[in-house]
């Protein structure tokens, strides 16, 4: 495809800087600019898709792949870093690029969906394609999951796809011919996870038999592709985690994530002789550790993603002095930001820096470690004025039983430029609930609410993941109980610290967060001025019994629900006790209820029954159903409408003193 634009025409922010704190000279603001800064930031500014996203370097470091907006769709483009020319690899006007992966420096796989603006959980997969960087050589690959590019055969990819057994098989696929070579012919059975070494050999299998005991996990290992499988060990996955990640470049060292002997997940070397977790590699006092970083040129593992992210932590523990030094240089040049490093695996001196903060949605820089020069490439959302955004602080407070809760507090600036005190507070409650809800960084919802004068508290209450097994399991069967109290205790902390006005607090959330909003109004009567509940669970029994939900026909999901929420028969009294539907008479604060007409996770009947209960008791509420939306509102026009409803609802119920 022909070049259609230069990088300079897409962004005016390209410049070269040395390693020193960035300070951009700006002309004096005009009266019009000053007036514009005093006007409320349009809702649309918080809703618009990023201009550039999912940016990565080619293996040879000569090209940059980006997902960018064209024809109102997410398309894949390639930027030649020598000429700064941008070429569109895809030019969809009816579909969106959902993701991509470099195979080699001239070819990628691209995953395509109907629309990214569809409702959450309802993105319709349209296929995976392989394509050259100039847009030629397109080949449809069928349905599968890409593991990584092939090491032994450039242009091929290691994939997971259905095969002869219940679980996935591993294949190497030639992306030009479509030929597949089965790499797991000798399958030990019931494998749900495989580990492939750096010679494309499948060396580790993780197996569990759902017909016997799905929690009993077996690890298998073999020395090479031709050797027989050997059982390493068995364990109960509810008691301990041993998750194989990857082999190092010696093809012998196996890294695993495990919580053996601890609450949080750490990184270990696995002792193949003793057939058990071996030497500790890296750990965190508060967080479960994540993925590893490898340097192909150095032929070793060089870092661990920690999950600890704020203005003073990079989110990485580097185990290599050179990369640690590079991280420090970048952090010194871009202070107060999270700076994530990636590189072309063949030329690690050319480093892509993804940089963001609580007030900045993100920039991409190109660093040359040979010259120590760094150049700004593109902005994710160039229209966001960081000087008008509000700082987010990572906080910890103690729940009433002493459990430590991490939360994120965003405080709007006062007239003096400092965070305000005694502010109206919106508590944003994440869904799941057993997910890692919030992180430090640019959060559109928090910034939107702060721009309207509200303090925002976003707690990762017990049951949230990423803080260790014990913390997550502390939320099991705690709907309406300790999980709910964690949210209330966060409000009391914010009031005690002087951040929040005790007479102006509103709960807000979606899915489980919508449930916790409604039940919070019931359990803590008189404490909250209002509630905003989207796609909210209103009856725990309905969550398990609605036959047209996407979870009803899944035995695995039903088993998980039984463990984490409760047993439909044994816990019927508890379900009724903590279901908002049966306590609508106790709600005294006004509620904004929003649902999707096509939601199959929390079907609309949850909202309809609850609305009828509110009508029966003559309780105040506002109601909206978004047509053709599911478990979340992703269509741009619906999100704008929803945010404007939130704005008006809060203005009505939170601005005036009681």
Q: Give the torsion sign (CA, 550, 556, 559, 560).
A: negative
The reply to whether 134 and 153 lie within a common domain is no
- Per residue, the 3-state secondary structure of 192-217, as one string, reads EEEEECCCCCEEEEEEEECCCEEEEE
pLDDT > 90 in the chain, percent: 65
* Interval 368-396: pLDDT, tens: 988 889 999 999 999 999 999 999 999 99
Q: Mean pLDDT, to the nearest integer, of 90-113?
A: 89
Q: Summarize pLDDT for 329-362 with one digit per residue, the tens.
A: 999 999 999 999 999 888 888 999 999 999 999 9
Beta strands in 199-263 (DSSP E): 202-209, 213-221, 230-236, 242-247, 254-258
pLDDT computed for residue 213 by the predictor? 82
pLDDT, position 15: 28
Query: Is 258 within the bounds of a domain?
Result: no
Task: Examine the pLDDT at 17 and tell me if it is beyond 60.
Answer: no
Residue 628 confidence (pLDDT):
87
Q: What is the distance between the alpha carbons of residues 453 and 41, in angstroms, rounded to a whole number?
A: 12
Residue 306 lies in a domain: no
Q: pLDDT per residue over 144-156, tens digit each?
A: 788 888 888 888 8
Q: What three-state secondary structure class fits 416?
A: coil
212 lies in the same domain as 158: yes
- What is the DSSP secondary structure assignment for residue 582, as one 8-state letter? G
pLDDT for residue 119:
42
**Whether residue 363 is found in the same domain as residue 424:** no
What distances in angstroms separate CA 303 from CA 106, 199, 314, 512, 523, one per listed residue? 27, 21, 12, 35, 46
Measured at the CA of 621, the angle between CA 619 and CA 622, to 5 degrees, comes to: 160
Tell me how far apart the alpha carbons of residues 132 and 137 are, in angstroms, rounded to a whole number. 6
Q: Which of 383, 415, 436 is the last residue of a domain?
A: 383
If asked whether residues 426 and 490 sit together in one domain, one would say yes
What CATH number is attached to the domain comprising 462? 3.40.50.1820
| pLDDT tier at 485, thresholds 50, 70, 90 | very high
Same domain (yes/no): 44, 127: yes
Same domain, 527 and 495: yes
* One domain, residues 350 and 417: no
Residues 160, 31, single domain; the answer is no
C-beta of residue 413 within 8 angstroms of C-beta of residue 444: no
Query: Which of 228, 253, 278 is the endpoint of a domain?
Result: 253
Q: What is the pLDDT of residue 543?
A: 87
Same domain flag for 528 and 396: yes
Assess if residue 7 is contained within a domain: yes
The band of 2, judged by pLDDT with boundaries at 50, 70 and 90, is: very low
pLDDT at 393: 94
Domain holding 553, by residue range, is 390-654
Residue 222 forms part of a structural domain: yes
Task: Please say if the pLDDT value at position 312 is more than 50.
Answer: yes
Collapsing DSSP to helix, strand or coil, 59 comes out as coil
pLDDT digits (tens, 9 = 90+) for 272-295: 999 999 999 999 888 899 889 999
- Alpha carbons within 13 A on the beta-carbon side of 572: 3
Q: Are residues 87 and 35 in the same domain?
A: yes
Q: Which of 220, 238, 253 is the last residue of a domain?
A: 253
The answer on 453 and 575 residing in a single domain is yes
**Are 645 and 536 in the same domain?**
yes
Q: For the residues of 529-571, what is the DSSP string, one character each?
A: SEEEEES----HHHHHH-TTSSSTT-HHHHHHHHHHT--TTTT
* Domain membership flag for residue 271: no
In a domain, 532, yes or no: yes
Mean pLDDT of 67-73: 87
Amino acid 544: pLDDT: 85
- In-domain check, residue 539: yes
Number of structural domains (the chain) is 3
For the entire predicted model, the pTM comes to 0.89
CB atoms within 10 A of CB 606: 26
Helix, strand, coil share (%) of the chain residues, nearest 5: 20, 35, 45
Query: In this structure, what CATH number is given to the domain that contains residue 368?
Result: 2.40.128
% of the chain beyond a pLDDT of 70? 91
Q: Is residue 169 part of a domain?
A: yes
Mean residue pLDDT across the chain: 88
């Amino acid at each position: 495809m022909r070049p259609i634009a230069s990088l300079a025409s897409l962004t005016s922010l390209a410049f070269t800087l040395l390693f020193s704190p960035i300070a951009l000279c700006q002309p004096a603001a005009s009266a019009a600019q000053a007036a514009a800064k005093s006007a409320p930031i349009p809702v649309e500014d918080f809703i618009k898709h990023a201009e550039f996203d999912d940016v990565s370097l080619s293996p040879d470091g000569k090209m940059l792949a980006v997902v960018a907006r064209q024809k109102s769709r997410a398309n894949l483009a390639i930027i030649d870093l020598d000429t700064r020319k941008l070429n569109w690899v895809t030019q969809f006007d009816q579909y969106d690029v959902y993701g991509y992966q470099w195979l080699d420096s001239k070819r990628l796989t691209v995953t395509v969906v109907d629309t990214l603006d569809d409702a959450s959980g309802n993105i319709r997969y349209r296929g995976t394609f392989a394509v050259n960087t100039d847009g030629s050589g397109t080949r449809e690959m069928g349905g599968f999951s890409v593991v990584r590019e092939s090491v032994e055969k450039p242009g091929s990819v290691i994939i997971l796809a259905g095969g002869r057994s219940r679980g996935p098989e591993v294949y190497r696929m030639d992306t030009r011919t479509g030929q597949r070579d089965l790499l797991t012919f000798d399958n030990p059975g019931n494998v749900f996870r495989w580990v492939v070494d750096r010679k494309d050999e499948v060396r580790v299998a993780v197996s569990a038999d759902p017909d016997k005991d799905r929690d009993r996990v077996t690890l298998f290992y073999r020395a090479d592709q031709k050797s027989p499988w050997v059982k390493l060990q068995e364990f109960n996955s509810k008691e301990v985690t041993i998750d194989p990640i990857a082999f190092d470049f010696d093809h012998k060292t196996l890294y695993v994530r495990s919580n053996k002997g601890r609450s949080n997940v750490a990184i270990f070397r696995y002792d193949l002789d003793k057939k058990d977790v071996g030497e500790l590699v890296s750990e965190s006092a508060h967080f479960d550790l994540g993925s590893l970083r490898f340097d192909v040129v150095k032929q070793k593992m060089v870092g661990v993603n920690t999950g600890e992210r704020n203005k003073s932590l990079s989110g990485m523990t580097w185990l290599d002095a050179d990369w640690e030094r590079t991280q420090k240089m970048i952090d010194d040049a871009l202070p107060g930001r999270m700076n994530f490093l990636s590189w072309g695996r063949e030329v690690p001196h050319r480093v892509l820096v993804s940089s963001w903060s609580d007030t900045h949605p993100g920039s991409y820089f190109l660093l040359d470690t040979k010259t120590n020069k760094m150049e700004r490439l593109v902005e994710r959302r160039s229209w966001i004025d960081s000087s008008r955004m509000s700082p987010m602080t990572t906080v910890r407070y103690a729940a009433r039983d002493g459990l430590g809760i991490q939360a994120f507090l965003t405080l709007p600036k006062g007239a003096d430029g400092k965070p305000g005190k005694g502010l109206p507070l919106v508590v944003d409650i994440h869904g799941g609930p057993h997910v890692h809800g919030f992180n430090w960084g640019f959060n559109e919802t928090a910034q939107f609410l702060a721009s309207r004068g509200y303090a925002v508290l976003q707690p990762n209450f017990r049951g949230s993941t990423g803080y260790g097994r014990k913390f997550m399991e502390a939320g099991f069967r705690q709907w309406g109980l300790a999980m709910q109290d964690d949210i209330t205790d966060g409000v009391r902390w914010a009031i005690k610290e002087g951040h929040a006005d005790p007479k102006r607090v509103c709960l807000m959330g979606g899915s489980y967060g919508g449930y916790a909003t409604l039940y919070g109004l019931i359990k803590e009567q008189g404490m909250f001025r209002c509630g905003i509940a989207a796609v909210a669970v209103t009856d725990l029994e309905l969550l398990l019994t609605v036959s047209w939900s996407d979870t009803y026909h899944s035995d695995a999901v039903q088993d998980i629900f039984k463990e984490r929420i409760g047993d439909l028969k044994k816990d019927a009294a508890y379900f009724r006790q903590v279901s908002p539907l049966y306590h609508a008479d106790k709600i005294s604060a006004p509620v904004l209820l929003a649902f999707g007409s096509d939601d199959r996770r929390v079907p609309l009947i949850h909202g309809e029954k609850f609305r009828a209960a509110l009508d029966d008791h003559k309780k105040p509420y506002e109601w909206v159903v978004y047509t053709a939306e599911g478990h979340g509102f992703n269509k741009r026009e619906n999100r704008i409408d929803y945010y404007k409803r939130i704005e008006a609802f809060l203005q009505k119920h939170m601005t005036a003193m009681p």
